[in-house]
């Protein structure tokens, strides 16, 4: 299903002079209609809406009869949650909420949950109900129903909830993630899922469960072993420019994360990259880059398991055009503090728009190939 490409959230906010809190604040968007492109008894391909290069949103339904929600399919987290009618936060007033009393298959589990993300936190209680993706129904799925969603990220986000696709060990309460239940309930022929994230208006983004459509990539998939089955974590050999290593010296760890829009890494190394691409600090984690650099700077190459994955300057530098004002360009690299015992790189949507990705749980590996 074709998805219309629109301006990035950062672009919209810059045009409105609302740079402060850029990562956390996003303008409201109307509800989207999602159509399933392909379905068989053992696989489901679900279209995703590209929300201005900041998030990719798809449809699910919870309960009997089904209540519809828009969620981020997130490989950087594990749990599934949606807002509940009992939520008192302003965020829940802007989104669809789940009403347990209207579902004949609902069961409360009398447990609380709290999940902290990079841009906000959610807390509430756990329940069990049927969850539907396309025509595929996962029975007795544990999910969180939010009571509190503080902050602007949840209030102004284009999504109602988040559907996590990382490993079970990352679950906050030891619950069985939805993908594991898909497999255990015999709903899939293969224990895999895949993402095609497009920035082209004529081609729609897609998440695929139980199978892969090879028309979405070119060449052969190159497989990378998971180094630690918690996140979708891999070993990266190096990051280089013009054949010279500029970051990840001697190897480093990275997670492949569909829920993160940029490429993020340890602050010192990202700042070194920004210096090389002539990045100038503007606000918070925002860095201006001369716009001519989009056409003159070389690819930045991520070497993973011995294979090179180049990302062009036109992808790692974002061009912003504002009517009546001079155009500006911003880096799509983000410095961050380490959130684990060792510094991690995050290969987010900036990277994944260039490379089709397959997540193979049966063999604990990730497949990558150039996206069409």
Report the catalytic residues: 74, 257
Measured over the CA atoms of residue 94, residue 69, residue 7 and residue 284, the dihedral's sign is: positive
The values of phi and psi at residue 352, to 5°, are -75, -20
Q: In whole angstroms, what is the distance from residue 255 CA to residue 234 CA?
A: 6
284: left (phi over 0), alpha (psi -120 to 50) or beta: left
Task: Please name the helix (run of DSSP H) or strand (run of DSSP E) that holds residue 317, with its range, or none.
Answer: strand 317-320
Measured at the CA of 42, the angle between CA 187 and CA 144, to 5 degrees, comes to 40
Bond into 93 cis (ω within 30): no
User: Are 49 and 5 within 8 A, CB to CB?
Assistant: no
User: Are 50 and 44 within 8 A, CB to CB?
Assistant: no
Q: In whole angstroms, what is the distance from residue 143 CA to residue 62 CA?
A: 10
Q: 83: exposed, middle or buried (C-beta count within 10 Å: 0-12, 13-18, 19+)?
A: buried
The tokens of 134 are what?
Answer: 């396309």
Cβ partners under 8 Å of residue 147, min gap 6: 84, 86, 87, 88, 123, 124, 125
The values of phi and psi at residue 79, to 5°, are -85, 160
Going by C-alpha positions, the residue among 309, 312, 282, 284 that lies closest to residue 297 is 312
């Amino acid at each position: 299903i074709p998805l219309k490409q629109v301006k990035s959230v950062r672009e919209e906010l810059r045009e409105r002079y609302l740079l402060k809190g850029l990562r956390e604040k996003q303008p409201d968007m109307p509800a989207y209609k999602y159509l399933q492109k392909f379905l068989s008894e053992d696989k489901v391909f679900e279209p995703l809406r590209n929300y201005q290069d900041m998030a990719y949103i798809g449809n699910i339904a919870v309960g009997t009869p089904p209540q519809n929600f828009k969620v981020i399919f997130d490989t950087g987290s594990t749990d599934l949650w949606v807002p509940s009618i009992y939520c008192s936060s302003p965020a829940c007033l802007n989104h669809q909420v789940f009403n347990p009393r209207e579902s004949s298959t609902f069961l409360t589990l009398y447990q609380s949950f709290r999940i902290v993300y990079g841009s906000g936190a959610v807390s509430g209680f756990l329940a069990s109900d049927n969850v539907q993706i396309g025509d595929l129904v996962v029975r007795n799925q544990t999910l969180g129903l939010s009571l509190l969603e503080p902050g602007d990220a949840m209030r102004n986000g284009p999504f109602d909830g988040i559907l996590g696709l990382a490993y079970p060990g990352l679950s906050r309460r030891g619950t069985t993630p939805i993908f594991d239940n898909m497999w255990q309930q015999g709903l899939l022929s293969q224990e895999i899922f895949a993402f095609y994230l497009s920035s082209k208006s004529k081609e729609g983004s897609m998440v695929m469960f139980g199978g892969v459509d090879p028309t979405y990539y070119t060449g052969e998939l190159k497989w990378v072993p998971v180094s630690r089955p918690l996140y979708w974590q891999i070993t990266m050999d190096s990051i280089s420019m013009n054949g010279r290593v500029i970051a990840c010296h001697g190897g480093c760890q990275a997670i492949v994360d569909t829920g993160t829009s940029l490429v993020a890494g340890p602050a010192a190394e990202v700042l070194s990259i920004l210096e090389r691409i002539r990045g100038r600090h503007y606000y918070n984690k925002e860095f201006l880059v001369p716009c001519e650099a989009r056409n003159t700077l070389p690819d930045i190459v991520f070497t993973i398991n011995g294979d090179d994955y180049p990302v062009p300057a036109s992808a790692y530098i974002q061009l912003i055009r504002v009517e009546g004002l001079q155009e500006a360009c911003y880096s799509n690299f983000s410095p961050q503090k380490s959130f684990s015992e060792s510094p991690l790189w995050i290969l987010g949507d900036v990277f994944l728009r260039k490379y089709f990705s397959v997540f193979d749980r049966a063999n604990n590996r990730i497949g990558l190939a150039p996206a069409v």
